[in-house]
Structures are given as C-alpha cells and as structure tokens.
Structure 1
Amino acid sequence: MVDQMNKDVENVELENEEVNKDINKEVDEEVVEETSSELENEKASEEANQDEKKSKKDKKEKKKNKKDKKDEQIEDLTDRLKRQMAEFDNFRKRTEKEKAQMFDMGAKTILEKVLPIVDNFERGLSAVTEEEKDSAFADGMEKIYKQLVTELEKAGVKPIECVGEEFDPAKHNAVMQVESDEVEVGCVAQELLKGYTYKDEVLRHSMVAVAQ
C-alpha cells in the first residue's frame, strides 16, 4: 500500500516536471517572439528614421542647390548691370569730351576771325594823336576795345607775353633778327604782332623779332 502511494507521488512529480517544462518552453518561446518582434520594430523604426533623415537631407540639398543657382543668376545679372553702367559712363564721358572738343574747335575758328578786329582796334588807337585822345570818338573806340578784350579774357583768351622772354618756337614766330642792347641774344626784342592762347593752347603765335 505504501509502495503504491510512493509510486503515485513520483508519477505526480514527474507530471508536474513535464508540465513545468512545457510552461517554461512556452514562456521561452513567447519571450523569443516578443524579443524578435521588438528587434524588428526597432529595426523598422531605425530604418524609418534613416529614411526620414535621408529625405530631409535630400530636401536640404535640393534647396541649397536651388539657392546656389539663384545666387549665381543674381551675381550674373549684377555683373552684367555693372558692366553696362560702366560702359554707359564711359560713353557719357567720351561724348562730353567730344562735345567739348567740337566746341573748342568752333570757338577757335571764331576767335581766329575776331583777333584781326582786335589788331585793327589797337592800330587805330595807336594812331590817335595826343590832341585827339580826349575826343568823344577816341574815347568811344577805347571803351569798345576794352569791352572786347574783357569778353575775350572771360572766354579764356589771353595775350602771350613775349618781349624780353627767351624765344620759344611753340609760342613765337620769328620773322627777323635785330641788334638790341635791352635784351640778351636769343630773346624776343620786339613784338610785331600780338599772339594769343585759348585755354592754355596757342591760338595764334606771336610774330616777333629776336635779338642777335
């Protein structure tokens, strides 16, 4: 009887061990499944994050490339505008210079025709005698002459100083040589026809006699 009871107890323990093994096996399988599922979820999440990062990076690169292209277009247009402005400025300066040159050429042509009138005034005034200097006619001639000379000076016309100066072929036109005790050899002794400059350029050479 006792032996039978011991056998029954042993059988029950064996059954319990089998049940425990089955339970542990099921638990282990569940843990493995859960762990595998978690790993798969983590991997999927990591892949999703990587895809998102890649997508953001691609968008950023596209945006940067678009911005760089836009900046290049702006720089190109700015450079073209600067070149056109520089060309226009050069054109304006060149046009103004040409206009000034044309004006000076025209002014010289007119002034060259006016100078003989000035010469005639000077000859007429030098021919006035002492008795006639106080006459209304001589006084009127003197005033007209001074007014003419003043207007020429305002226009930039100046007489060339020559008597006593060293002969300069750029300003003087020597037509004769004379002996002189007043100036050194090679200097202008007499002024035969007054010369003039216009804006520091010779308008008419002085006709002179040079001391020898």
Structure 2
Amino acid sequence: MAKKSMNEKLRNLKADKEGAGLPAEQKIKVTEGAENPGTKIKIDEELNFEEDDEAARPKPVPKKDRRGSKQMQAELEAAKELAEGNKEKYTRLLSEFDNMRERNKKENAEMSDKGAKDALEKILPVIDNFERALDSVAEEEKTPFEEGIEKIYKQLMDTLESIGVKPMNAVGSEFDPMLHNAVIHEEDAEQGENLVVEEMQKGYMYKNDVLRHAMVKVVN
C-alpha cells in the first residue's frame, strides 16, 4: 500500500514536471535499496520550480542605480537648458553683429560721400570758369589752343560723370525749391506757369544728393 502510494506520488511529480515544461531527460528513477527493504527514491536532477519562477520575475533595480539614473537625467536636462541658452545668446550676438556691420558700412559710405562732396564743391568754380572761357569765343573763331582747352573740359566732365556728378539742366523744367534757387522772377503770358527759363549758374547732383543748387530765372 505504501509502495503504491509512493508510485502515485512519483507519477504526480512527473506530471507536474512535464506540465512545467522541463526537459524530458530529467527522469525520475526508483530503485530498490539493497539493505533497506523499503523504497529509496533518487531524482537525477533537482526540480527547481521555485528558482525558475524567481528567474522569470524582473529583477528590481538597485536603489543606487535608480539614484544614478535620476542624476544622469537631471544632468541631461541641465545640459539641454544650457545649450538652449547658449544658442539664444549666439543668435542675439550674431544679429547685433550684423546690425553693427551694416551700420558701420552705412556710416563709412556717408563719410566717404561727404568727403567727396566737399572736394567736388571746390572743383565746381573751376568748371564754371572753363565754361565762361569757352562761351566767350565763337565757334568759328576758335584756335587750335582753344579747341584743346575744350577737349580737356569734356574729358573733365566725363570723369566727373563716371563718379556720379551730373549737371541738372534745369532750363525747361518746373521750378523745384529742392533743386533750384530762383534769383529772378518774371511774368510771361507766352510761357508756362512756374517754369525755369534761364540758368544763371548750373546746378549739379552727386549721386542722389544735390551738390549745388541751380541759380535760375522763373516765369509766372
């Protein structure tokens, strides 16, 4: 009866082992003891069901590792904030540098133009004298010397035009106080209203600025 009960226990163990998915090689052997008429049970390998269950469970993260992970996360967030701050500073400084460069470029151009205008204003009276001298001689009476002077005058005017200096040619245009200085005003029914009819002194432009206002006679 005891042997039968033991056999049933062995079968139950074997069934439990197979249900747990253990290899078939892990067999349970029953041998008769030589000295003891009773039954001795030997098991080839231990049935480590509990150990297998423990291995299947996720191992808890040690507290030390959790603290290290939190510290790394905090350091990463701090590094991101620092990078964003540095990026904003760099963008702002770059914008300020570009603005300063453009401002300096504009100021340098204005200073250069002012220096050029100051020099050109001193040349204009020389041009006036050239024109008076050439106008005083009739075209048919010009000598080779006077013709040479006229060529020099034209060369000078071409050079001035190449750097942005141009005469206004005010005659026939409407009077503009921004460009013209009216020194004579007359009434003439045959002329248009507020019209420049004569140029007493030629005006000049330097690029988009007035280099010298034209002195003109205006009618109506």
- Look up the equivalent residue of 2:71 and give its one-letter code: K
Instruction: Establish whether residue 72 from structure 1 lines up as the match of residue 89 from structure 2.
Output: no
How has the CA–CA distance of structure 1 residues 180 and 141 changed in structure 2, closer, same or farther, with 3 Å as cutoff? farther
Structure 1 unaligned runs (5+)? 1-37
Please tell me the residue identity of whatever aligns with 1:61. K
2:216 matched residue in structure 1 = 208
Which of these residues, 77, 100, 109, is aligned with residue 91 of structure 1?
A: 100
User: What is the CA deviation profile of residues 45-76 of structure 1, one whole-angstrom value per residue up to 9, with x for unaligned ones?
Assistant: 97x93344x65554433222211111111122
- CA deviations over 1:56-111 (Å, ceiling 9, x no partner): 55443322221111111112222212222222211111111111111111111011
Alignment of 1:17-166 (within 5 A): 49-52=59-62, 57-133=66-142, 135-166=143-174
CA displacement 1:147-188 (0-9 Å, x = unmatched): 111111111111113112111101110001134466313111
Distance 1:182 1:161, change over 3 A: farther
Give 2:185's aligned amino acid. Q
CA distance in 2, matches of 1:190, 1:130: 22
Give the helix-richer structure, 1 or 2.
1
Q: Distance in 2 between matches of 1:64 and 1:126?
A: 90
Distance in 2 of aligned mates of 1:182 and 1:194: 24
Query: How many residue pairs were aligned?
Result: 174
Equivalent pair of 1:180/1:189 in contact (CA under 8 Å): no
Cα distance in 2 for partners of 1:51, 1:142 equals 101
SS of the residue corresponding to residue 112 of structure 1 reads helix
Alignment TM-score, normalising by the size of structure 1: 0.71
- Compared CA separation, residues 51 and 186, structure 1 to 2 (3 A): closer
Unaligned runs of 5+ in 2: 1-49
* Contact 1:164–1:183, Cα closer than 8 Å, also in 2: no
Distance 2:92 2:64 in 1: 42
Q: Distance in 2 between matches of 1:203 and 1:124?
A: 23
Determine the C-alpha separation between the residues in 2 that align with 1:153 and 1:66: 67
